[in-house]
Amino acid sequence: MSEKVKASRIETSVSMEKLLADLERYRAMAISLGAADAHVIPANLVSVDERVRLKCAFPRCHLYGETPNCPPYTPEPEFMRKALSRFHYAVLLKHDVHPKSDFVDDRGWHKGHEAHQHATGSVVSQIEALAFNDGHYFAVGFGAGGCKTTLCRGMYCQFLDSGRCRFPLRSRPSMEGVGIDVYDLVARVGWEIYPVAHADVDPDSIRCAVSVGIVFVR
């Protein structure tokens, strides 16, 4: 059996020393759970942009409207900007996609997304849960890719069908699904990222592929 997580008493304020120690622990935890890298970042480094959701709709993503955690069901960008502005710090993490053909290959990318984005979502949900139990009760995480792909392996969305989610504590929107400009953020922290298209692009020009998640802590 895994060791039980101890809940911490809720405090009206948290010292900067404790907060920074917790953030570093979550960063290290992301690495121990399989992330290739993770950074503690100021939350105001994150940009929410209406154009991100626009790209979900045009050209239409195969997950658009297929899950409550994808547009048009996710919160509007203006709400997200207001909500995220209340946070000061977040943990940003990534998984390197090996082989990169899992994201780059025109024929295999759909199946390839499942394992990599599932891994990112799993780390995000575990860090969010730990931060919550540590007393950071507003902690909230966003993964990579739609939950229909990462959790339900492409099956129909049971929540939209009956109102009963198969994975109520693990299901969450992707970063892009709530309007976060992931490309901009990843470039800002110095990680390498490429637009991965599936037509008329030389796969050798895409040096790497990544799956990215974030947990806003406090």
| pLDDT (tens digit per residue) in 121-159 | 999 999 999 999 999 999 999 999 999 999 998 899 999
pTM for the full predicted model = 0.96
What is residue 154's predicted lDDT score, i.e. its pLDDT? 86
Q: Is residue 1's pLDDT more than 70? A: no
137-165 exposure pattern, b = at least 16 Cβ within 10 A, e = fewer: eebbbbbbbbbbbbbbeeeebebeeeeeb
Q: What is the pLDDT of residue 106?
A: 80
**Whole-number pLDDT of residue 2:** 59
Q: What is the mean pLDDT of the chain?
A: 94
Domain residue spans of the chain = 16-216
Q: Kindly tell me if the per-residue pLDDT of 78 is higher than 50.
A: yes
